[in-house]
Amino acid sequence: MLIDTYGRVATDLRVSLTDRCNLRCTYCMPEEGLQWLTKTDLLDDDEIVRLISVAVADLGIEEVRFTGGEPLLRPGLVGIVQRVAALEPRPRMSLTTNGIGLGRTAAALKDAGLDRVNVSLDTLRPDVFKTLTRRNRHHDVLDGLEAARAAGLTPVKVNAVLMPGLNDDEAPDLLAWAVEHDYELRFIEQMPLDAQHGWKRDGMITAGDILASLRTRFALTPEGDDARGSAPAERWLVDGGPARVGVIASVTRPFCRACDRTRLTADGQVRTCLFATEETDLRGALRSGAPDEEIARIWKQAMWGKKAGSGLDDPSFLQPERPMSAIGG
pLDDT tens digits, 274-302: 878 889 999 999 999 999 999 999 999 99
| Closest to 322 measured CA to CA, from 69, 75, 97, 72 | 69
CA distance linking residue 117 with residue 155, whole number of Å: 8
Q: Is the predicted pLDDT of residue 196 greater than 50, yes or no?
A: no
Share of the chain above pLDDT 70, in %: 87
Residue 199 is predicted with a pLDDT of 43
Annotated binding site: 14, 21, 25, 27-28, 65, 69, 96, 120, 157, 191, 256, 259, 261-263, 273
Q: Answer whether CATH 3.20.20.70 is correct for domain 2-326.
A: yes
Mean pLDDT value across residues 85-100: 96
Annotated binding site for [4Fe-4S] cluster: 21, 25, 28, 256, 259, 273
**In the chain, where are the structural domains located?**
2-326
Q: From the DSSP assignment, how many helices (H) and strands (E) are in the chain?
A: 11, 14
Annotated binding site for S-adenosyl-L-methionine: 27, 69, 120, 191
**pTM to 2 decimals?**
0.89
Mean pLDDT value across residues 185-199: 67
Confidence of residue 195 (pLDDT cuts 50, 70, 90): very low
Which letter, b or e, does each residue of 256-270 get, where b requires 16 or more Cβ atoms within 10 Å of its Cβ? beebbbbbbbbbbbb
| Closest to 159 measured CA to CA, from 69, 114, 105, 99 | 99
Report the mean per-residue pLDDT for the chain.
Answer: 89
Annotated binding site for GTP: 14, 65, 96, 157, 261-263
Q: 84, 52 in Cβ contact below 8 A?
A: yes
